Amino acid sequence: MSEVRVRFAPSPTGYLHIGSLRTALYDYLYAKNKGGKYILRIEDTDQTRYVDDSIEKMLEVLSWSGVIHDEGVFIEDGKLVQKGEYGPYIQSERLHIYKEYIEELLAKGHAYYCFCDKERLEKIREEQKEKGLMLGYDGYCRDISIEEAKKRIEAGEEYVIRLKLPKNRDIVFNDIIRGKITINTKDLDDQVLIKSDGFPTYHFAVVVDDYLMKITHIVRGEEWLPSAPKHAYLFEAFGWETPEFVHLPTVLNKEKKKLSKRHGDVSVEDFRAKGYLPEGLINYLALVGWSPEDNQEFFTMDQLIEQFSFDRVSNTGGVFDKDKLDWVNGHYIRNADVDELTKLAIPHLLNVGDITEEDVNNRYDWIKLLVSTLQERISYIAEIVEKAQFYFDNEVKPENEEVSEMLKGDQVPSLLLAFREELLQIDEVDDEFATTIMKKIQKSTGVKGKNLFMPIRSVLTGQLHGPDLDKIILILGKQNILSRIEYVENQLN
């Protein structure tokens, strides 16, 4: 068998959708599993939808995610470069190639010039709607000869070039996920291949590019399934071997509808900005539509490569469950290096004004300690702002009735008094104070266990559970703790 070659071929129309990243990931995993090549091609023939900088942004996000291609378009020293022997890898730079192949198709009688204007096309569409017929081009220009077409073009008439499908013929092709698929040409229309601006449509360019780039497996979303018979016929019309088709199930939201901007975050950039780790996002995304042979849930990229196959990809939509993503990502956060997490957390804490640039420069260890106390309690980095709030509030209110009841305990006034006395004897809280203070309070009040620790935690954090008390005491420092003791005493009085 020839070397496996797959491609991810996005359009530069803005952000990278989470479903597109999954397609790229499956491409990458399959190619690596088979010792093949994964290619990145840019499909920018629809110039009306082109968004500036979107190629650079997309490449940066793919690089962040760890889904790195072998051939195609890269960024080096801030510039776009192309690498590989089958370039150019940007479609708008391949127009001369498409021109050559459309001429071949016209000469073989598998394509024709069409001069129907917008008004006529809209009229036949309305008529088809009224009669309940399949919507599509009616073949009005199919029999115009090449000679007549050339004269009309020379006279300045606008035209497109369409595919000339055979009438009433079954087109049969295989899809690795869905099996054998048969579509009759009476259920298809003569697709536009070259638009009036001279640019190819996706349907033409994709077939020419996949052939010339020696693509063995066409991996894409199932929304392209209705177009696949036309593509299969184009391969046949050129006399080329058809690659294997792999149409992936759609990524759905919890309501089993297609994941879209209306339902919240869908771009990879959104998840990156919130502080999801690439390992967490990739691990979770791999499982949206693919199931491993056992029930393993956590995978390194190498493990995914080793186990991945299209045989275990579902033919029904995979549900993107943010709660499950949070759970998977939380696993990676708990196992991450604290310095790495601190670097990621600093912009979020700066953004809400919890810390200053001066803190970053002079109190880095204090910030790192704060992050480490919350490492077990966050699912993504941006969550640290909410979870750390009790460190920065001047007044800490009980988070529920249970905490309020805890603070009404008979022993609480004596605990607060003992705590204050210890604080007033020091200049600032250090490691030694933080690790010995509870024993000292126990000794002077005789209160121990739950009756000691839970009220003190409630005073300091407004919560009954959370990070280690010694770390909380060290982070809060003398003045903050005194303020909280005073606040609770005022409430009790």
Active site members: 261
Q: Tell the residue number behind the tokens 């082109």, with chain if given.
A: 50
Distance separating alpha carbons of residues 450 and 448, to the nearest angstrom: 7
**Cα torsion 385, 391, 396, 398: sign:** positive
Edge-to-edge strands of the sheet including 160-163?
Answer: 111-114, 160-163, 192-194
Give the DSSP H or E segment for 470.
Answer: helix 469-492
Q: Tell the residue number behind the tokens 């006529």, with chain if given.
A: 120
- Cβ-based neighbour number of residue 400 at 10 Å: 10
The packing angle between helices 469-492 and 450-461, to 10°, is 80
| Burial class of residue 481 in the structure, from the number of CB atoms within 10 Å of its CB (0-12 exposed, 13-18 middle, 19+ buried) | buried
Distance separating alpha carbons of residues 491 and 493, to the nearest angstrom: 5
Tell me the DSSP string of 65-84.
HT---SEEEEEETTEEEEES
| Burial class of residue 77 in the structure, from the number of CB atoms within 10 Å of its CB (0-12 exposed, 13-18 middle, 19+ buried) | exposed
DSSP 224: G
Calculate Rg over the CA atoms of the chain.
32
Distance separating alpha carbons of residues 480 and 490, to the nearest angstrom: 15
